[in-house]
Amino acid sequence: MRKIDKILGLGFLVTLLALSCRKVDLPISINQIPSELAISSLSGIKLETPFVTSQVSMNVKSEVAQIVTIKIFDISNRVVSKSTSDVKAGDTVLKVYTNALPSSAYRIGLYDDKGNQLGITDFNKI
């Protein structure tokens, strides 16, 4: 193996390690449901805005109280953030923090404890 290949491989591993150790902020629950976050269907998710800087409010609507998984996917459809949250039956507004994400397009999905998708939407980190 050439020396340059070893250096490039080591650089790739260091970069991969640095990216995998970054801090991803978890969502926190808030109580009031703003009208711009209202969901008319029985379940799903809705973001306050599709253009996000450091945080965004998200309404999670569920038919039953349960623990849900929130996954954020990058444009390659890789999971870059994953967290769980307790939601009540009806509307639950969560804050999703995106400080650790680089500027790009993302998809955020909501899943029940069996892995069934309850909702999905896109946003742009600016």
Contacts of 40 (CB under 8 A, 6+ apart): none
Question: For residues 21 and 31, what is the distance between their CA atoms, to the nearest angstrom?
Answer: 31
Residues contacting 22, CB < 8 A, separation 6+: 100
Cβ pair 32, 75 in contact under 8 A = no
Residues paired with 68 in a beta bridge: 85
| Whether the predicted model's global pTM rises above the 0.75 cut | no
> Is residue 111 scored above 80 in pLDDT?
yes
- Digit-coded pLDDT (tens) for 3-44: 777 777 776 666 655 555 555 555 555 556 788 899 989 889
Q: What is the DSSP letter of 44?
A: E
* pLDDT at residue number 73: 97
- Tens of pLDDT along 59-92? 999 999 999 999 999 999 999 999 999 999 999 9
